Amino acid sequence: MKYYLTRIVAIAALLLSSACGSSIKSGESSHNGHSTEQTHDGDSSTTQAKLTAPKNLAQNQPMSLVIDVRDSQGKAVTNFDTFQEKTMHAIVVRDDLQSFAHVHPEYKGNGRFEVSTTFPTAGEYKIFSDYKPSGQKEQVSLMTLNIPGSVPLPKDLEKFNTTKILNDVKVNLKLSEPNPKVGKEVTLTFDLKQTANNQPVKDLQPYLGEKEHLVILKSSYPLSTSDYIHAHALKKTGDGQIAFKTTFPQPGTYKLWVQFNRDGKVDTADFWVNVL
């Protein structure tokens, strides 16, 4: 009986601690654990981002991360311009591109950003942080984080499927070039239809100052900042339609995440594109 009671207490303590974990807000916990310097790719970026993560990294629970932006002399970069409504955009992906999150670290001053994010499964993760030091061009810094734990069996890759159904919305991807080639500009058009009646979705709301947001990453190991591709939204498109222009820099397989906002809820649809 005594043993049984102890067990109940132990379970209650566990529940309590996980409840605490989920309420951690940026800046509340201590960050003296792992530290990863950005790997630099020889591009023109003059700043670097240093990541500090909690000691006890775990899958599937919120983790508070600290990102310090420094100049080439190691001094804190203190002024940032807002772009697409935020001071920093961070894309968190597992190296095999099976997991994706788009978060916005909060600027705390003195070059420091904080964010809480969840790594759904164990594995190696990359964080692409996108920011704009005042008076400079947009910078992308890459950070790496290893989340320990057992690795799940890979899901069946629905590669090259051009239609994705997300609850009540069907997203269809069309490419201006059915077989896109390296270095050639391609228009990517996403058609959003209501699954119920196949009519265009008309209630898209702006998301980060745009009709939609698109992230493109080249499937590589290890991932580097050159795998992070910029795309520009085209302003004039039809109902329930969003289009982007981009150029793929290298042959390979790319994954695309298109994000849109309906009723304040952001949905993400992902697609693969093969570039020859």
Q: Which residues bind Cu ion (CB under 5 A)?
A: 89
Determine the Cα–Cα distance for residues 175 and 190; give it in Å rounded to an integer. Answer: 9
Determine the Cα–Cα distance for residues 67 and 88; give it in Å rounded to an integer. Answer: 10
Closer to Cu ion by CB, 103 or 275: give it: 103
Closer to Cu ion by CB, 208 or 234: give it: 208
Report, in Å, the least distance between residue 198 CB and Cu ion. Answer: 31
Report, in Å, the least distance between residue 15 CB and Cu ion. Answer: 33
Closer to Cu ion by CB, 57 or 103: give it: 103
Closer to Cu ion by CB, 50 or 89: give it: 89
Determine the Cα–Cα distance for residues 99 and 234; give it in Å rounded to an integer. Answer: 27
Report, in Å, the least distance between residue 9 CB and Cu ion. Answer: 43
Report, in Å, the least distance between residue 104 CB and Cu ion. Answer: 6
Closer to Cu ion by CB, 57 or 127: give it: 127
The end-to-end CA distance of the chain, in Å, is 67
Closer to Cu ion by CB, 37 or 138: give it: 138
Closer to Cu ion by CB, 89 or 112: give it: 89
Sheet architecture: strand order including 232-233: 163-166, 169-175, 185-194, 241-247, 232-233
Closer to Cu ion by CB, 37 or 83: give it: 83
- With CB atoms as reference, the residue minimizing the distance to Cu ion is 89
Virtual torsion, Cα 98, 271, 255, 119, nearest 10 deg? -30
Report, in Å, the least distance between residue 179 CB and Cu ion. Answer: 30
Report, in Å, the least distance between residue 85 CB and Cu ion. Answer: 8
For residue 227, give the H/E element and its range. none
Determine the Cα–Cα distance for residues 197 and 8; give it in Å rounded to an integer. Answer: 51
Main-chain dihedrals φ then ψ at residue 5, nearest 5 degrees = -60, -45
Compute CA 127 distance to the chain's CA centroid, rounded to the nearest angstrom: 7
Determine the Cα–Cα distance for residues 164 and 169; give it in Å rounded to an integer. Answer: 8
Report, in Å, the least distance between residue 268 CB and Cu ion. Answer: 12
Report, in Å, the least distance between residue 213 CB and Cu ion. Answer: 7
Compute CA 109 distance to the chain's CA centroid, rounded to the nearest angstrom: 23
C-alpha pair distances (Å), 113 with each of 35, 88, 160, 162, 244: 14, 8, 36, 36, 29
Which residue, among 140, 100, 143, 144, has the nearest Cα to 121 in the 3D structure? 100
Q: Give me the residue label for tokens 């999150």.
A: 101
